[in-house]
């Protein structure tokens, strides 16, 4: 995937084609139909361009004219404020703070487990078990509203969907009691924006 739309791009996203962190930014870009050049970068061999733009050499890195941002959540919130339609965070301060807290918990409870699984070694099996059990325990939450704790799609959904897409990669198969999670995942995967967000490498995870 090189360009999200046919308009002349004004932004560049340096992206890891296999990273959930890059993927969730691509979901936001697609949801908002933002014109962007997406350049896939090997995270183990970042280009000189990346190192010049981002002192940490991490992905994703977003360049918008003279502004350079890194750290996926900062990028996601910037995109939501820069392109306010459709909004992916609530307008009122209380709901907005709650949505940010949900995102923090997704990162703290699920993304950290993903990192331990992908790192391999002695901690991977325990992280895989904890992640699976956490998703099963959260299943009732996915029945309460159409999206994660919300009537409308939010940045939390943009973060959760890339994780659920990667469950086969993590070696996690959810049982019948997690059906609400699986149903939610299928709804997210069927969104046109989610399909547009996928890199070729990510598509192969579900072939």
The 10s digit of each residue's pLDDT in 102-159 is 999 999 999 999 999 999 999 999 999 999 999 999 999 999 999 999 999 999 999 9
**Tell me, what's the pLDDT at 135?**
97
CB-based contact 12:36 (threshold 8 Å):
yes
The whole-angstrom separation of Cα 150 and Cα 71 is 24
**Tell me, what's the pLDDT at 5?**
47
**Tell me, what's the pLDDT at 3?**
47
**Tell me, what's the pLDDT at 9?**
60
Distance from the Cα of residue 200 to its chain's centroid: 16
Q: What is the pTM of this model?
A: 0.92
Low-confidence ranges of the chain (pLDDT < 50): 1-6
Token pair of 24 as six digits: 């969730």
CB-based contacts of 153, cutoff 8 Å, min separation 6: 31, 86, 88, 147
CB-based contact 185:46 (threshold 8 Å):
no
Same fold, 11-87+195-206 and 93-191: no
CATH of domain 93-191: 1.20.1050.10
Measured in degrees and rounded to the nearest 5, phi and psi for residue 68 equal -125, 130
Give domain 11-87+195-206's CATH superfamily.
Glutaredoxin (3.40.30.10)
**Tell me, what's the pLDDT at 10?**
79
- Domain ranges in the chain are 11-87+195-206, 93-191
């Amino acid at each position: 995937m090189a360009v999200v739309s046919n308009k002349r791009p004004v932004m560049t996203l340096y992206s890891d084609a296999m990273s959930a962190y890059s993927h969730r930014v691509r979901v936001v870009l697609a949801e908002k139909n933002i014109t962007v050049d997406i350049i896939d970068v090997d995270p183990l061999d970042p280009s000189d361009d990346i190192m010049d733009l981002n002192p940490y050499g991490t992905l994703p890195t977003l360049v918008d004219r003279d502004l350079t941002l890194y750290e996926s959540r900062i990028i996601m919130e910037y995109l939501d404020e820069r392109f306010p339609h459709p909004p992916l965070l609530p307008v009122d301060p209380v709901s907005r703070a709650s949505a940010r807290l949900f995102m923090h918990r997704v990162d703290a409870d699920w993304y950290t487990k993903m990192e331990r699984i992908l790192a391999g070694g002695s901690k991977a099996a325990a992280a895989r078990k904890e992640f699976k059990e956490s998703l099963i325990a959260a299943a009732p939450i996915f029945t309460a509203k159409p999206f994660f704790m919300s009537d409308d799609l939010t940045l939390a959904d943009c973060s959760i969907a890339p994780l659920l897409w990667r469950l086969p990669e993590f070696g996690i198969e959810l049982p019948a009691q997690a059906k609400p999670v699986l149903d939610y995942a299928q709804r997210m995967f069927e969104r046109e924006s989610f399909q547009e967000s996928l890199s070729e490498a990510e598509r192969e995870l579900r072939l």
